[in-house]
Chains A and B, each alone.
Chain A
Amino acid sequence: MDETRFKRIKDLPSTHILGTGTAMCAGCGGLEAVHEVYDILGEKTVFVNAAGCMTLLSIYPFTPFRGSWLYTAMASAPAGAQGIRDALDILLEKKRIPRDEDMDVVVLTGDGSAYGMGLSATSGAMERNLDFIYLCYDNEGYGNTGQQYSSATPHAARTSTSKGPKGFPGYKKDLFSIWVAHNPLYVATVLGAEPLDLARKIEKAKELKGPRLIIALSPCPTGWDFDPSESVEIGKLAVKTGIWPLKEYIDGKVVHTKVPDRRLPVEEYLKKQGRFAHLFSPKRNDKLIGEIQESVDKYWKGI
C-alpha cells in the first residue's frame, strides 16, 4: 500500500481514544506510543498484555481502553493472543458471532518480555503465522521493577543493576533482525516522537493479515533519568544521531523510512540522560563514547 492517509502532521487523529489519568509517569514515551498506535487501530482491538509498566493501565475498576484488554503473564502474551484469535476465528467460522464482533488482537509488552522471557512465545506465534499485531514499547530495561538491565539495555547505560563506572557491560540485542529472521509479514521500528512515520506504519500493518511486529523505542524519564519535558526531544535525538533507525521489513526487504541527512554525534543523545552521566563526569570517558559512536557508524555503513 503506497497511498497513506497521513501525508502531514495535520492528517493525524486530533483526539485520542485512550483515556487519560493513568498511572504511567509523566513524559512516558511508552504511553505516548500506545496512544498513537491506538488512535490508528481504533476501538475494535483487544490488547493482550504481559507484566510491565503498562499492566497498570487497567486497575480495577478502571480502564483507559474503549476496546478490550487481557492481562496474561510476563512470558506468554503472544500465546494469549493465539487463544483469543483462534477462539474468535472458531466463533466466526461456526457462525456463533457476526463478522462485526471481530477485533484486532494486539500484544502489548515491554522489552523485557519481547527481547527475553516472551521471545519463545513470539517465535511460536510467528511460526504459526498468527494474525496479530505485537507492540513492544522498549524502555531498555525492566522498568516496572525499577529499571534493572534487560537484553534491550544499550551498552554502557547505568541501570539499577549496572551502577559501576562502565555501566551495562552487554550490548542491546537486535530484536528487529531476530523477528525478521522468522520472515513474518511485517516488522517495523517506530517512535512516539515521530508520529507521522509511526502512523503510516501502523496504518500499513492494520491492513495486513498475519504476524505484524512493531518495536517502539520509549524514552523513559524515570528509568533513563531525565526531565519528563525532554521526552520528545530525546526521542527525536535518538533518530537524528542514528541510534534508533526507523525502518520496516516488508516483502522480504528492509527499508529505512527516515534516514538522517547528517547524523548528529551520539553524545548529543547520551548527555541528556542521567543513565549516561558517568560518560561525561567526573571525567569524560572518550573511549566509551567513541565505542558507541563507532557501533552506530558501523550500522549505517552496513545499510
Chain B
Amino acid sequence: MKRTLLTGNGAAAWGARLAGVDYIPAFPITPQTEIIEAIANWADSGEISGRMVTLESEHSMITAAGAAAATGVRVFTATSSQGLLYGMEMLYTVAGWRAPFVLVNVSRGLSAPITLEPDHNDILAARDSGFLQIHCATCQEVLDSILLAYRLGEDERVRLPVIVNMDGFYLSFTREPVEIPNQDVVNRFLPPYDPENISFRASQPTSQAVAVLGGGPYSYFRYEMHLAAQKSIEVFDKITRQFSEEFGRSYDAVEAYRTEDAEFIFVMIGSFATKAKEAVDRLRDAGRAIGLIRPRLLRPFPEAQIRRLLNGKKGVAVIDQNLSMGKGGILYTEIASALYGQPDAPPILVSFIGGLGGRDISQEEFFEMANNIRRAVEEGSAPPPRLLYTEGEMKEVRKLQAMANVERQM
C-alpha cells in the first residue's frame, strides 16, 4: 500500500491497472484524456499487460468494449459528456448483452452551448440504459469504486456493465491524497474475470444478442435486466462489507452525513457534496439540526436506504446539478418518487438547480437553501423549484449580451 497525490483521472487509471484489465478500447475527450494517456503509457512501457486500442468514435469504442467483454476478457473504458451521448445507442445495446465491464464517465455539461465544465446531464442521460451507476465524491472513491464496480458487475447475480462517475475538473483534475492498495490484496478481493456462459469459442458456437419476435420475449429479457439491477443493491452491500474488511474503507450505497438527529437534509450526488458537508458543519456550529445524504448508487436506486434516512425528517432540499427541460431536477423527481405515500415521509421537499456547467455553489447559497427549507416547514408549503443564480451573474450575462450586440453591428 502506498499513499500518494493523485487526480481523479489518475485514480481512475490506477483503478483499472489494479483490476488487471485485459482490454482498453479508448477515444479521447476532455476532461477524460489523462486516464487513457496514463493507461497508454503503462501499456507501452509494459507496466500493464492490457491492450489499448483507440477506436474512431465512442459509438465504436463501446461496441468494441461490449464485444470484447462478450468474448470473455476484462474490459475498461472511459469517456465524458458528448462522447457518452455519441455512444448512447451502444450503451443500451451492450447492457443487454449481459457482458460486464467498467466505464468511467467524467461528467461534463452537454452542448449546446458547448462547455468543458461539469454537470450531471451527461450521466443522467444514461440513467435508463441498463448500466449500473456509482457516483464518486473523492479521488480515493474513484479508485475504490472501480474495484467495487468489477466485483458488482461480474457477480453471477448481476452480470451488467457499470459506470463509475466523477465530476470533471473538480475531481478529474484535483489532486488528493489517495491510498493505492497492494496488488495482492486487490487480487484477493477481485478474482480474475469469469465469463461464465458468455463467450465466443470455436468449440461452443453461440448466437448472442439476437432478435426476438413480439413483446413477450422482449419484456422477459428486459425485465430480467431490471431484476438483476435491483438484486445488485443487496450484492453491493455484501461486496462493500468485504471491501471494508480488506481495505478499511467503507462505502454504503448512500452516504449519510450527520443525519441522525437532523431535522433537515440536503440531498446531492457527486463531488459538490463535499461543499455541502462543509456547509452542514457550519450550520451545525450555528445550532441548526441539518445533515446530508449522498446516494453513491444511482442505478440501482437505493430506495429503501433513502427512505430509512429521510423518513421522519421535517424538510429536505434536493440539489440537482442537471436540468430536465420542461420538468426540472432529475434527482428531485427520483427522491420524490421514493418518498411518495410513505407514512412518515418528510412533508417538505424543495428542489434547487445549481452547479450547471461547472458553476460553483457557494457556502452562502447552502445557508440560504437551509433557510428556505426551514421557512417552508414553518409555512407548511414547499416553494417552487429554484435556480441558484446571483444578481452578479445576471449582470455579467447582460454585459456579454451587450457586447455580442455590438459585435454583431460591427
- The finding on whether chains A and B are genuine partners in a shared complex, rather than unrelated, reads yes
Where the two chains meet, the residues of A that have a C-beta atom closer than 8 Å to any C-beta of B are 43-44, 46, 48, 55-56, 58-60, 63, 65-73, 75-76, 78-84, 86-91, 94, 96-97, 100-103, 120-121, 123-124, 127-128
Report whether B202 and A101 are in contact in the complex, using a CB–CB cutoff of 8 Å.
yes
Report whether B211 and A90 are in contact in the complex, using a CB–CB cutoff of 8 Å.
no
* Chain A to chain B: the 7 pairs with minimum beta-carbon distance, closest first: A83-B67, A79-B60, A124-B56, A87-B71, A83-B64, A83-B68, A76-B63
Q: Which residues of B contact A78 (CB under 8 A)?
A: 60
Report whether B51 and A103 are in contact in the complex, using a CB–CB cutoff of 8 Å.
no
A73-B71 contact given A60-B210, A124-B55, CB 8 Å threshold: no
Measured CA separation A43–B51 after assembly (Å): 28
A–B complex contacts, Cβ < 8 Å, 13 sampled: A58-B207, A65-B207, A67-B205, A73-B63, A79-B60, A82-B53, A82-B67, A83-B71, A86-B68, A90-B68, A91-B73, A94-B49, A120-B60
Report whether B65 and A83 are in contact in the complex, using a CB–CB cutoff of 8 Å.
yes
Kindly report which residue of chain B lies nearest to residue A51, judged by CB atoms. B211
A59-B72 contact given A83-B65, A123-B56, CB 8 Å threshold: no
Q: How far is the CB of A121 from chain B (nearest CB, A)?
A: 5
A121-B57 contact given A59-B213, A68-B207, A83-B68, CB 8 Å threshold: yes
B380 at the interface (CB under 8 A from A): no
Report whether B89 and A63 are in contact in the complex, using a CB–CB cutoff of 8 Å.
no
B290 at the interface (CB under 8 A from A): no
- The interface on chain B, measured as residues whose beta carbon lies within 8 A of the other chain's beta carbons, has a size of 40
Measured CA separation A63–B208 after assembly (Å): 10
Q: How far is the CB of B55 from chain A (nearest CB, A)?
A: 6
Q: How far is the CB of B61 from chain A (nearest CB, A)?
A: 7
Which of B49, B60, B207: most chain A Cβ within 10 A? B207
Report whether A100 and B64 are in contact in the complex, using a CB–CB cutoff of 8 Å.
no
Q: Which residues of A contact B201 (CB under 8 A)?
A: 97, 101, 103
Contact with A along B274-312 (1 / 0, CB 8 A): 000000000000000000000000000000000000000
Cβ contact of B200, chosen from A46, A63, A123, cutoff 8 A = A46
Measured CA separation A103–B5 after assembly (Å): 45
Measured CA separation A60–B57 after assembly (Å): 30
Query: Given known contacts A59-B212, A75-B89, A84-B71, what 8 new A-B pairs fall within 8 Å (CB)?
Result: A60-B212, A68-B206, A69-B207, A79-B61, A82-B55, A94-B49, A103-B202, A121-B56
Report whether B67 and A59 are in contact in the complex, using a CB–CB cutoff of 8 Å.
no
Q: How far is the CB of A32 from chain B (nearest CB, A)?
A: 21
A-B contact count (CB 8 A): 151
B22 at the interface (CB under 8 A from A): yes
Q: Which residues of B contact A90 (CB under 8 A)?
A: 22-23, 51, 68, 73
Q: How far is the CB of B53 from chain A (nearest CB, A)?
A: 6
Measured CA separation A93–B229 after assembly (Å): 34
B235 at the interface (CB under 8 A from A): no
Q: How far is the CB of A224 from chain B (nearest CB, A)?
A: 24
Kindly report which residue of chain A lies nearest to residue B57, judged by CB atoms. A120
Measured CA separation A66–B64 after assembly (Å): 23
A63-B23 contact given A73-B93, A84-B71, A124-B60, CB 8 Å threshold: no
Report whether A79 and B67 are in contact in the complex, using a CB–CB cutoff of 8 Å.
yes
Q: How far is the CB of A161 from chain B (nearest CB, A)?
A: 23
Within 8 A of A (CB), among B190-213: 200-203, 205-213
Within 8 A of A (CB), among B60-82: 60-61, 63-73
Q: How far is the CB of B356 from chain A (nearest CB, A)?
A: 31
Report whether A59 and B64 are in contact in the complex, using a CB–CB cutoff of 8 Å.
no
Measured CA separation A60–B61 after assembly (Å): 27
Q: How far is the CB of A178 from chain B (nearest CB, A)?
A: 15
Q: Which residues of B contact A71 (CB under 8 A)?
A: 208-211
Report whether A84 and B68 are in contact in the complex, using a CB–CB cutoff of 8 Å.
yes
Q: How far is the CB of A217 from chain B (nearest CB, A)?
A: 25
A48-B67 contact given A90-B51, A100-B202, CB 8 Å threshold: yes
Cβ contact of B63, chosen from A60, A66, A83, A123, cutoff 8 A = A83
